[in-house]
């Protein structure tokens, strides 16, 4: 009998298909060994979708994504699409999915495994044991604000416009997501904006203060200007636990946080919508934070761990399988402890492996730990 839970896989461009190939094997493992029963569908997103349909995602693929319990996405983009029309660029497919599925809450955990502390560009003592959760607003701000565009001023000048805009409800709902997570962790929350320059930042500051003061009195709230936050993240990253911020600052600060963990190749993410009023289920898309890495695409060198850990987040947040998510995380840790490394996290005296050998090792660790 076909399962009533659905995963939609969108491998995308560059290294996306390679890393998602390893995720497919992991999903199979949970099917065989843990009765994880899902039906899986595939489609195109990004440059490959543009090549096939002239758009970065087809309406049919968006419809399927809307009907799925979880979307697993690889990566989008590459230099071969540098000259396509702006609306059709590969990233537009991802942004349309975020908008149409209303995935306003992007969770980006930055965890430094002690086996990888040396792979970080920061000193071991600064990053060892690091465990930050960045909560990035994902459907508002300058990414989607209107007016936007490039206009011709007619005097030989052109003007590029984007609008940073946030309404109360957008700030409130992302603050609640972050605060709920903080309540399950250390009850410490940092919020980041640029209220010294931007009214939208001032509103962000005021609304975060209001929500926390009204509904989360147990939380210790700290505000940090986004530029200072970037600096603090490389100065003393362990001062943060949960960090909530807007779409653009979240994009930047999560890349900074990623590097603390050793490599962008390690960072998963979950993008969640509001829970459905009837079913209680939230729409969700899981993707690695890294991009399509065109320089190593097709060579079997990419690190599949960020994608595998994104699937672990799907097990936890969409499928209520916390124990399976923990098992998968432990399997990845065991592989790292054994000294296996893809190129992005390679260190002296470790064993360099490719994408599929890393997948093999995770499967083997699952066999050892999970049976």
Note if 6 is an active site residue. Answer: no
Q: Which stretch binds Mg ion (CB under 5 A): 10-18, 38-46, 156-164, 245-253?
A: 245-253
Nearer to Mg ion, 290 or 321 (CB): 290
Segment contacting ligand IPM (CB under 6 A): 62-70, 88-96, 210-218, 259-267?
A: 88-96
Told to judge if 255 belongs to the known catalytic residues of this protein, a careful annotator would answer: yes
Q: Decide if 337 is catalytic.
A: no
Length of the chain: 371
**Range 191-220, binding Mg ion (CB under 5 A):** none
What, of ligand IPM, Mg ion, none, does residue 324 touch, CB below 5 to 8 Å by kind?
Answer: none
Tell me how many residues contact Mg ion (CB under 5 A): 1
Residue 99 vs 352, nearer CB to Mg ion: 99
Name which of 294 and 370 has its Cβ closer to Mg ion: 294
| Site membership for ligand IPM, residue 91 (CB under 6 A) | yes
Q: Is 251 in the site for Mg ion (CB under 5 A)?
A: yes
Of 265, 256, 268, 259, residue with least CA distance to 296: 265
- Among 82, 130, 80, 136, residue whose Cα is nearest residue 104: 136
Nearest approach in angstroms of CB 95 to Mg ion is: 12
Q: Name which position in 7, 19, 94, 314 contacts ligand IPM (CB under 6 A).
A: 94
Which residue lies nearest ligand IPM, judged by its C-beta? 91
Structure tokens at 90: 């590969």
CB of 106 to ligand IPM, least distance (A): 8
Report in angstroms how near the CB of residue 94 gets to ligand IPM at its nearest. Answer: 5
CB atoms within 10 A of CB 163: 12
Q: Is 251 in the site for ligand IPM (CB under 6 A)?
A: yes
Cβ distance to ligand IPM smaller for residue 237 or 288 = 288
Q: Which of 13, 194, 240, 324 does the annotation list as catalytic?
A: 194
Q: Which of 241, 255, 326, 360 is catalytic?
A: 255
Q: What does the alpha-carbon distance between residue 298 and residue 295 come to, in Å, rounded to a whole number?
A: 9
Nearer to ligand IPM, 95 or 369 (CB): 95
Distance of closest approach, residue 137 Cβ to ligand IPM, in angstroms: 11
User: If contact means CB under 5 to 8 A according to the sort of partner, which of Mg ion, ligand IPM, none does residue 94 touch?
Assistant: ligand IPM
Q: Say whether residue 172 binds ligand IPM (CB under 6 A).
A: no
In the structure encoding, which two tokens stand for residue 157, read together?
A: 């000048």
Whether 115 and 336 have beta carbons less than 8 Å apart is answered as: yes
Total chain residues near ligand IPM (CB under 6 A): 5
**Does 48 engage in binding with ligand IPM (CB under 6 A)?**
no
Q: How near is the Cβ of 278 to ligand IPM at its closest, in Å?
A: 30
C-beta neighbour count of 357 within 10 angstroms: 15
Largest CA distance in the chain: 71
Closest CB to ligand IPM among residues 94, 244:
94
Give 170 or 251: the residue with its C-beta nearer to Mg ion.
251
Q: Which residues bind Mg ion (CB under 5 A)?
A: 251
Give the residue numbers marked as catalytic: 143, 194, 227, 251, 255
Q: Which residues bind ligand IPM (CB under 6 A)?
A: 91, 94-95, 251, 289
């Amino acid at each position: 009998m076909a399962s009533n839970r659905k995963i939609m896989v969108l491998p995308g461009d560059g290294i996306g298909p390679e890393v998602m190939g390893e995720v497919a094997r992991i999903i199979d493992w949970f099917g065989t060994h843990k009765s994880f029963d899902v039906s899986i569908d595939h489609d195109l997103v990004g440059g490959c979708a543009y090549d096939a349909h002239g758009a970065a995602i087809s309406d049919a693929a968006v419809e399927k994504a809307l009907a799925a319990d979880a979307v697993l996405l690889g990566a989008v983009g590459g230099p071969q699409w540098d000259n396509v029309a702006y609306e059709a660029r590969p990233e537009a497919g991802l942004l349309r999915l975020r908008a149409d599925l209303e995935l306003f809450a992007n969770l980006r955990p930055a965890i430094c495994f002690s086996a990888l502390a040396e792979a970080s560009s920061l000193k071991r003592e600064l990053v060892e044991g690091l465990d930050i959760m960045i909560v990035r607003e994902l459907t508002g701000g300058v990414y989607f604000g209107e007016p936007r565009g490039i206009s011709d001023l007619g005097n030989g000048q052109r003007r590029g416009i984007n609008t940073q805009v946030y309404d109360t409800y957008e700030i409130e709902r992302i603050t609640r997501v972050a605060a709920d997570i903080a309540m399950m962790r250390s009850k410490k929350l940092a919020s980041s904006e640029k209220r010294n320059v931007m009214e939208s930042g001032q509103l962000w500051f005021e609304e975060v203060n209001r929500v926390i003061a009204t509904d989360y009195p147990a939380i210790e709230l700290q505000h940090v200007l986004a530029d200072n936050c970037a600096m603090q993240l490389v100065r003393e990253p362990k001062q943060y636990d949960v960090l909530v911020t807007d779409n653009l600052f979240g994009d930047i600060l999560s890349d900074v946080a990623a590097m603390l963990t050793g490599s962008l190749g390690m960072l998963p993410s979950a993008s969640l919508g509001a829970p459905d009023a009837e079913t209680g289920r939230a729409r969700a898309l899981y993707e690695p934070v890294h991009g399509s890495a065109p320089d190593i695409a097709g060579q079997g060198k990419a690190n599949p761990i960020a994608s595998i850990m994104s699937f672990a987040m799907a097990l936890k947040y969409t499928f209520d399988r916390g124990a399976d998510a923990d098992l998968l995380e432990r399997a990845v840790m065991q592989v790292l402890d054994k000294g296996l490394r893809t190129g992005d996290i390679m260190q002296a005296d470790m064993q360099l492996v490719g994408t599929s050998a890393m997948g093999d090792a995770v499967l083997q660790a699952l066999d050892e730990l999970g049976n």
